[in-house]
A and B are shown apart, each in its own frame.
Chain A
Amino acid sequence: MNLDLLPLALADGFSYAGLLFLVALGLTLIFGVMGILNVAHGAMYAFGGYAAASLIQLLMSRGEVPSVVLVLALFAAAIVVGTLLGCLLEIGLLRRVQDKDPVLQLLVTFGAFLILDDVQLLIWGGSPYTASEVTGRLGTIELFGATFTAYQLIFIPVVALCAYGLLQYFLRHTRVGRQVVAVTHNAEVATALGIHAKRIRLVTFIVGAILGALGGALSVPSTSLVPGVGTDMIVLSFSVVATAGLGQITGALIAALMIGMARSLAVYTFPEFEVVVPYLIMVLVLLIRPYGLFTVAQARKI
């Protein structure tokens, strides 16, 4: 590899890791609290992305719009999509399969994903969507003799780190957050202590869904959306979550960085292996540590 490309690859990887982390964070949070691997999370990503792109196109067609409004539109789209889809899925579906086998729960979310994937195709069609205008507005940065867009180099990583910090604060220092942690550890005991576990599950699911949708919304300014993007993302974010260990939040941050960086280095050196690299990392990690890098040992029930 040309050494001049190294900073470019690292910057790309950094921004990609940020997106990946947002999506994986939502996935791992939902798994931690509800014990469900939500395959429909990929649909959250796609819906968040498409909704944000549509909203920005709508705003742009109204004439001159300040950059702040465009950036806020990304977040607004993610929050609306995440809340709506999150409520719909949790209340309409997951609540009903709460006591079933984890694999059956996974299959139910898979069924929901199949439906949402086609709904997305019906609403937005098969043509690519993008909102590169936002990237242009935020300008560029000169670093090590290469030009980066401020959006990718600063904005996405900052949002990802903020999401991490806010979530950690939420879980450790707020009333609802501590209730979430209690439900994660043992839902029955938490209920006995007077925690409304049903409501906690709903809140968690919505927060997770918003994080997934935010990942999609933040991806549209720098990439374009095509059908099938949700599937790629769910498998990729699963590989992050599995590498870290299911339910590990700080682990997901490190794993997302590892996988994001490795993937973008592969793009610049062996482009054929771009898609394979995340899975190779996951397989290697799981061979050595079968339940992820950061999982703590659990007692088994006989």
Chain B
Amino acid sequence: MAAQTLYDKLWEQHLVKQRDDGTALIYIDRHMLHEVTSPQAFEGLRLANRQPWRLDTNLATTDHNVPTTLAERAQGNKGIKDPISLIQVQTLDDNCLEYGIVEFGINDPRQGIVHVVGPEQGATLPGMTVVCGDSHTATHGAFGALAHGIGTSEVEHVLATQCLLTQKMKNMQVRVEGKLGTGVTAKDMVLAIIGQIGTAGGTGHAIEFAGSAIAALSMEGRMTVCNMAIEAGARVGMIAVDDTTIDYIGNRPYSPTGEQWEAAVADWRELVSDADAAFDKVVTLDAAEIEPQVSWGTSPEMVTGISGQVPDPKAASDDTVATSHTRALEYMGLSPNQKITDIHLDKVFIGSCTNSRIEDLREAAAVAKGKKVADNIMLAMVVPGSGLVKRQAEKEGLDKIFIDAGFEWREPGCSMCLAMNADKLGAGEHCASTSNRNFEGRQGYGGRTHLVSPAMAAAAAIAGHFVDVRRLPANDETLAKKA
């Protein structure tokens, strides 16, 4: 048999039917749902008088619209002040109840951002096909799963048929070799990758992240990298299964147990690309050369190292790029050649499906410990990815570190990553954000987002502007331990 990539293997294991015209029917093992992209799908199901094909594959949670203050959350759904948001959240609750789908509702301790909840529950397993009406579904690929975002029509299609009609993508490998420097994280790695290959660099491809620097990452770090595959244009990002993967999955509520666990682990060990498998495209980066990253523009590819500066559009490679850079600088209120460390900041957001897991909060807390948020930062907030992440952080005393430093400690949800709830930027405000998109208006009308790692966000909150986290005197062993 010809050598196969991880993607080839996962595709083959789920292929129900290959049509002559190139379209294929693929079986879906896990379908995650949230309130924003599902109501029209359930409505479609109802109108066509169809039932979900298989209930136990579906897992739902409310995340995009939920408020994050304790006062609001204490009232459950009633605490959602925006009546339109309330209807949307209530609609998911109603749909899940009607069809018998498991949902972690607003005050369930397991509620959280859908891409944090799935892996945390063991509901994301190696070898699965995982879909969700959300482009950051690639996150689950960190487990050697084939995971990608789908639209609402496809949400309905999966509910009704347990399958997707799709075409096979091309194979792309992004190798990161060597060792990341102290204070340089998975987020910096993925931002550097996007900066190199561009926001359409992976279009039409399934990306497998590989190399010694990827293998050295924790599962949290791997999820951060796969999460942002879509920001490089690829719907799918994935990483081969190894001991780190299997260690993470053991003893989670949805993980297999007993004999099934043994059989599953044996099966999962095969989920690696064959040594001589061919990729359509290969990109290699040297981990040692990656410095902490900061985005300066309105697309995730508009990113540079902390020691860098905002580019001059006159130096752009072509007219389209020059126009984009000019427009981005205008929107962001920045000047050509401005140093990254000279960018004025107003707010700091630590959270999102990219960076709201326990390890992210530990990294940020290590920097914030014993310090105070700078006077010019009007709001610095930490939003854990799930109720269970929040509980774990509180057990470790991270909440106290943040609160003592002047951060707000919030309830779980998507929050200011996309500002569908009340957490948003005002027009013109600059935010150091651990989220994934710096698009115009993404974090609030006229808001200006700078994408960074949790450690860099915390350091920016303390200094009041971007600083090189590698140059801070270490006040905790956490950063040193990562080296």
**A and B: partners?**
no
